[in-house]
Amino acid sequence: MGNKFLDDAPCREADPWLFDQNKIDLAMTGLNYCRSCPFWSDCDDWVKPRQNFFDGVAAGKVWKNGRVLAKLDATSPHRLAVGDEPVEDAMEFRGSELLGDRYGDVLRGGETFDSGEPFSKEDL
C-alpha cells in the first residue's frame, strides 16, 4: 500500500520536467497541476524545498535555491502572487514587468520572500 499523497496527487503521472522549472512563465504548466491539488502541505513535507535549496515547482509555489519566487493563492488558486503582487489570472500569465530582468529570474529589488528576508539579484 502506497502513500495517499503519492498515489493521489494530480501530478503523479505528469512529466517531471514540468516541475523542474523556476522561470515563472515556464513553471505555469506545473502550477496548473498544483491549483487543484489538496496535498500542498504533504508536497512541501516530501520535497523539503527550503532545506534542499530546491529549484522548481512544488506545493503550489515556484522555488529557486529554496526560496519562493511566486505562489498560488491558497484561497483562490487562479491567482499567482509574485513577491507581494497578486496576478489576477495566473492561468493566463505569460511574463510581465513583474519578472524584472529579461530572463525572468529577478523580481523587483527590495521586496521580500515568504521568510520576510529582503532579496537581491545575488540571492537568486
Which tens digit of pLDDT belongs to each residue from 2-60? Answer: 577 888 999 999 999 999 999 988 999 999 999 989 999 999 999 999 999 999 999 99
Mean pLDDT, all residues of the chain: 74
Read off the C-alpha cell for 116: 520576510
Does the global pTM surpass 0.85?
no
Distance (Å, whole) CA 37 – CA 58: 11
CA 23 – CA 25 distance, rounded (Å): 6
pLDDT for position 17: 94
- How far apart, in whole angstroms, are the C-alpha atoms of residue 10 and residue 61? 15
Domain ranges in the chain? 4-95
Task: Write out the three cell numbers for 69.
Answer: 519566487
Handedness of CA 54, 30, 16, 46 (dihedral sign): positive
Q: Is the pLDDT of residue 110 over 60?
A: no
